[in-house]
Copies of this chain bind each other. A is one copy, B any other.
């Protein structure tokens, strides 16, 4: 089966860093091999640097970003626990769904799709929630929600933040903002294929985890006993060693470049893309000041006609993948990613040129 080479500018996955592809091709190690355990420790240390945290419990969950979300939720809230969830897109709604399945009392605080959450509304939603949860970068709308005020005002609550599309692409300050639990995914701004969910948990949150998570696979106590440096390395499940080696390499590429430099690169790519789209009659969904550079949702001008056909021509003729709209924006907006290794002005220029050719 012939596999084409793509420029991945959808809402994820992005193109992996070359160092990542090389890591995937290296000989496989077992999950208890001393060399692998060193590599795992180093991966967790790199994750701490990227999350800007000193949290001891910082590790990759063996599943995609949604597994990270589920791990965070099932370990924090049980039957009757109150969780306030900000919902202004598909991923906030997903958090609420997961918490509801745990039997938690879910207090959803809505904002319209495409608008940022009002942090004060989340802080005022319940007098004593166990958890306040929000999505930092809403992949469904391209909106950035403000996290800092939630940490400042959380009081006794634990702050849980979805950093799936933000980590590595825009500033994330887990300790600086008072975030207790954050998770991400490998296939967005970290430039690694999908399959792992980096996760970090503060000591304060660890003390308040549920007694026994409904999920055995995502039970953080059991996982920590294997994955944390200094743990007894007690076998839980077989760690996905090839993917962890890939993550290790991707984080290495990111940190060699420098976090701030990566943020600048994403900011530059996003600005070029959004200016180019606006010049072509697209309307950027997110309001100025809350726009993600790494993920742009843009309403397709009526002149374009069948938007799915245009996306298909970008894929077939130029090997460029962009994403469809979801939810209320399905069929009416595009989601264009400029993340990780893909976040380069060259790719933005290519996409805009290809779009002009397809629309000519």
On A, residues with C-beta under 8 Å from B are 1, 3-6, 8, 10, 12-13, 15-16, 21-22, 24-35, 38-39, 42, 62-67, 69-70, 74, 94, 97-98, 101-102, 185, 187, 193-195, 212-217, 235-243, 245-246, 315, 321, 323, 326
Contacts and interface: CB of A to CB of B under 8 A. Distances in A.
Given A4-B29, A69-B217, A242-B246, 7 more contacts: A25-B25, A33-B315, A62-B63, A64-B238, A65-B237, A70-B216, A195-B243
A43 to B, nearest CB: 11
A291 to B, nearest CB: 22
A32 to B, nearest CB: 7
B30 A193 contact: no
Most buried by B among A12, A13, A74, A315: A13
A255 to B, nearest CB: 14
Most buried by B among A24, A98, A214, A216: A216
Given A33-B321, A66-B217, A235 B326 contact: yes
Contact of A62 (B42, B67, B212, B216): B67
A217 B30 contact: no
A328 to B, nearest CB: 15
A333 to B, nearest CB: 15
B13 A67 contact: no
Most buried by B among A10, A24, A70: A24
B217 A13 contact: no
Nearest to A24: B24
A4 B243 contact: no
* 5 tightest A-B CB contacts, nearest first: A195-B240, A193-B242, A66-B237, A24-B24, A25-B25
Contacts of A216: 66, 70, 94, 97-98, 101
A97 B101 CA distance: 19
A238 B12 contact: yes
A137 to B, nearest CB: 15
Counting every copy of the chain, the complex holds: 2
Contacts of A62: 63-64, 67, 195
B70 A35 contact: no
Contacts of A15: 27-28
Most buried by B among A38, A194, A213: A194
A24 B25 contact: yes
B13 A27 contact: no
Contacts of A3: 26-27, 29, 35, 39, 245
A38 B6 CA distance: 16
B63 A63 contact: yes
Contacts of A28: 6, 8, 13, 15-16, 193
A63 B195 CA distance: 8
Contacts of A4: 27, 29, 35
A14 to B, nearest CB: 9
Contacts of A243: 193, 195, 240, 242-243
13 contacts: A3-B26, A3-B35, A4-B27, A4-B35, A12-B30, A13-B238, A16-B28, A62-B195, A63-B217, A69-B217, A101-B213, A194-B239, A195-B240
